[in-house]
Amino acid sequence: MNKNEFIESISKVSMKNYDQYRILPSLAVAQAVLESSWGKYHIENNIYGIKAGKSWTGKVAVRRTKEWDGTRYIIKEDRFRAYDSFEESVLDYLKLLGKTKRYERLRNTKDYNEACRFVYECGYATDPNYSEKLIKIIETNKLYLYDEKIESISAWALEAWEWAIEKGITDGKKPKDYATREEVITMLYRFSK
């Protein structure tokens, strides 16, 4: 999977589930990129490095990890969640950040800089430069454009909207505008063919 395919696969899942979890797609993609090096290094499809705590009932993988203890990096063995696919990993990540009280500050933020700062402050990672690394990934890859898409298109309509653009039914602009009779009749005519 190349970088663009990786971005598209993660952003598609995060945008589709935005209404339910309220986590910015740019953050979801940037963390997947940073934690797995573009999906190359993951722990059994766990592209976010999510650890398996006591409440986790799913599959587990034990690995050595490098952690910041406040003064230096240390190597230790830890338990990580394991998944059957990247998509399953993204959904669990969104659920973790979108439903856990610890990450409450992340939900509904519209600013990726703020989201990157909050995810670190809420304790997601120990690296003191974590927020800056995420921001650089977002800006370098223009991931903020995915955040703009969720502002203009309801998550439940996203898949249909992308399909309509691909089929030439719409130019992709002004998704909240009303359709004219001419546009509706044209759509119905195209569906009848």
Residues 141 and 159 both lie in one domain: no
Residues 125 and 189 both lie in one domain: no
List the CATH number of the domain containing 17.
Answer: 1.10.530.10
Domain-ending residue, one of 106, 121, 145: 145
Q: CB atoms < 10 A from the CB of 59, how many?
A: 14
Band (69; pLDDT cuts 50, 70, 90): confident
Residues 60 and 120 both lie in one domain: yes
151 contacts 142 by C-beta, under 8 angstroms: no
Residues 72 and 112 both lie in one domain: yes
User: Quick one: pLDDT at residue 169?
Assistant: 74
Greatest mean pLDDT among 29-33, 72-76, 144-148, 172-176: 29-33
- The mean pLDDT value of the chain amounts to 89
Lowest mean pLDDT among 27-31, 87-91, 114-118, 182-186: 182-186
Indicate the number of domains in the chain.
Answer: 2
Residues 102 and 191 both lie in one domain: no
Half-sphere exposure of 146 (CA within 13 A, CB side): 26
Residues 128 and 161 both lie in one domain: no
User: Quick one: pLDDT at residue 96?
Assistant: 95
Residues 17 and 105 both lie in one domain: yes
134 by Cβ neighbours in 10 Å (0-12 / 13-18 / 19+) ranks as buried
Lowest mean pLDDT among 61-65, 107-111, 146-150, 161-165: 161-165
The mean pLDDT value for 62-73 works out to: 84
Residues 181 and 141 both lie in one domain: no
Residues 97 and 162 both lie in one domain: no
What is the secondary structure of the chain as a DSSP string?
Answer: --HHHHHHHHHHHHHHTHHHH---HHHHHHHHHHHHTTTTS-BTTBTT--B--TT--S-EEEEEEEEE-SSSEEEEEEEEE--SSHHHHHHHHHHHHHH-GGGGGGTT---HHHHHHHHHHTTS---TTHHHHHHHHHHHTTTHHHHHHHHHS-GGGHHHHHHHHHTTS--S--TTSPPPHHHHHHHHHHHH-
Band (119; pLDDT cuts 50, 70, 90): very high
Residues 94 and 185 both lie in one domain: no
Residues 171 and 111 both lie in one domain: no
The span from the CA of 163 to the CA of 165, in Å, is 5
Query: Which structural domain, as residue segments, surrounds residue 165?
Result: 153-193
Asked if the model's pLDDT at residue 122 lies above 90, the reply is yes
89 contacts 47 by C-beta, under 8 angstroms: yes
User: Quick one: pLDDT at residue 27?
Assistant: 98
Asked if the model's pLDDT at residue 45 lies above 70, the reply is yes
The span from the CA of 47 to the CA of 107, in Å, is 21
Residues 19 and 71 both lie in one domain: yes
The span from the CA of 8 to the CA of 113, in Å, is 21
